[in-house]
Amino acid sequence: MEQVVLVDENDNQIGVEEKIKAHENGGKLHRAFSIFVFNSKGELLLQQRASVKYHFSNLWSNTCCGHPRPEESLNSAVHRRLREEFGFDTELKENGSLIYNANFTNGLTEREFDHSFIGIFNGEPEPNPEEIGDYKWICIEELKKDIKENSEKYTPWFKMFVSRINFEKELKLLID
């Protein structure tokens, strides 16, 4: 059974919980991460979550996301998950965090302390069909416009990160 790391509002570990149980009864705050991978043209790699996902299936989201396992460092977890979902790895830089709550349509609740990571990759991704239904590269300007017009197509955490992080600035720092 997959477990997540429970944390307080300062991201201090306070326990471990079975993943599904951490999402029941209003959710327990747990550590997570979201990865944003760009190409050298400044386009962000998006994934459409697979239809078999138990929450937010078929919605568009950031490149990759997940949870570190108990006793696994955040840095190890982000690289593991990127390889599991997209079949590649790249250098990643942490660039912020947020706490968010989101209710699933099935009665569960996502309550995460979500760390954001950014990186660059110019190869061809190899998406895992159990995780990813589709993918595309998109420029930030076009993405922000589509989120305004079609908000329901995107995951809650992704919309929060897009509204809070200056990806153009972060990307410039990575490329320069």
What is the rounded CA–CA span in Å between residue 111 and residue 109?
Answer: 6
Q: How many CA atoms lie within 13 A of 171 on its CB side?
A: 17
What is the rounded CA–CA span in Å between residue 6 and residue 47?
Answer: 26
User: Which candidate, 130, 162, 152, 149, places its Cα nearest to that of 46?
Assistant: 162
Q: Which residue bears the tokens 């509002």?
A: 9
Q: Any idea which residues carry the catalytic annotation?
A: 65, 112
